[in-house]
Amino acid sequence: MAYDMSLMGERFFTEGMMPEAGDVWHRTAPQGRALRPYRDFASAIAAAA
pLDDT digits (tens, 9 = 90+) for 1-30: 999 999 988 888 888 877 788 888 888 888
Contact in structure between 35 and 28 (CB atoms under 8 Å):
yes
Q: Which domain holds residue 7?
A: 2-48
The per-residue pLDDT for 14 is 86
Q: Residue 38 above 90 pLDDT?
A: yes
The per-residue pLDDT for 5 is 92
Residue 10's alpha-carbon distances to 1, 14, 46, 48, in angstroms, are 14, 6, 29, 34
Which amino acid would we find at residue 26?
Answer: H
Domain tally, the chain = 1
Task: Tell me the whole-structure pTM to 2 decimals.
Answer: 0.44
Q: What length does the chain have?
A: 49
Contact in structure between 36 and 29 (CB atoms under 8 Å):
no
The per-residue pLDDT for 48 is 94
Taking alpha carbons only, the member of 13, 34, 15 closest to residue 25 is 34
